Amino acid sequence: MGQDASKHSASASPVSDELRMILVGPPGAGKGTQAPRIKEKFHVCHLATGDMLRAAVTAKTELGQKAKQVMDAGELVSDDIMVGLIKENLDSNPECAKGFILDGFPRTVPQAEKLDQMLDAKHQKIDHCIELRIDDALLVSRIVGRLIHPASGRTYHDVTHPPKVANTDDVTGEPLIRRSDDNAETLKKRLTTYHQQTSPVVEYYQKKGVWSSVDASASSSAVWQSLNAIFSQ
């Protein structure tokens, strides 16, 4: 269900004990739900752009300090620094020995090219680029009703998954919050930017024969089944 098989050529890597993949999807598409499942199944590391940056800055690595200077100046971290951070994780993080899930990178074709160059030097390549696709209008309704428990990251929804007590976490009883950017106007702008950035990257991986799409409007269990169908090809 949901997999666009016509977009996934026979040249893609066969199933193996290792997995190197990119997970693509707009905010709220379910990457945060599916990535931990993939990580557990394949025993690989989950490299999310923001988390990697924060960890490197906290650890005060050489790249982390460079990234901090750039961010403190209000500028975007360069592609070279980002690819360097990924390489640093692949070289030093034991969880990355069998592969990785990249989340939030690459966002542009030049980033994808730099990533390929780095992996080529390690005699590795991307096995899958999987896009979680969902209609923008449905995504807006999903996000706008979202409630979050900040300490655990547990999420609720006004309509589809309300807490037992209004605005209160089921487990701890602590108050839930709404993110300031979880509003329709902000989200529509983010989605426009996402589509503009993502289309060329999707085309890049389509040409390489490693791209697949999954219908992310389905239930999380159905999305997981679709992902497994892709991995088993």
Judge whether 76 is annotated as a binding position. yes
Stated pTM of the model:
0.78
User: Half-sphere exposure of residue 210, counting CA atoms within 13 Å on the CB side?
Assistant: 18
Q: What is the pLDDT of residue 146?
A: 86
Per-residue pLDDT band at 13 (split at 50, 70, 90): very low
> Which pLDDT tens digit goes with each residue over 211-230?
999 999 998 899 999 999 99
Asked if residue 104 belongs to a known ligand binding site, the reply is yes
CATH topology of domain 18-135+210-231: Rossmann fold (3.40.50)
Radius of gyration of the chain, Cα coordinates, nearest whole angstrom: 18
Q: Does residue 200 carry a pLDDT above 70?
A: yes
Determine the Cα–Cα distance for residues 171 and 190; give it in Å rounded to an integer: 32
The number of residues making up the chain comes to 233
Q: Which amino acid is at 68?
A: K
Known binding residue 31? Answer is yes
Helix, coil or strand: residue 169: coil
Q: What is the pLDDT of residue 2?
A: 42
Average pLDDT over residues 153-172: 90
Q: Is 37 annotated as a binding residue?
A: no
pLDDT of residue 32: 82
The mean of the pLDDT values for the chain is 89
Mean pLDDT of 14-25: 81
233 vs 18: CA distance, rounded Å: 14
Ranges of each domain in the chain: 18-135+210-231
Nearest to 47 by CA among 98, 113, 134, 105: 105
The residues that are catalytic are 31, 107, 146, 179, 190
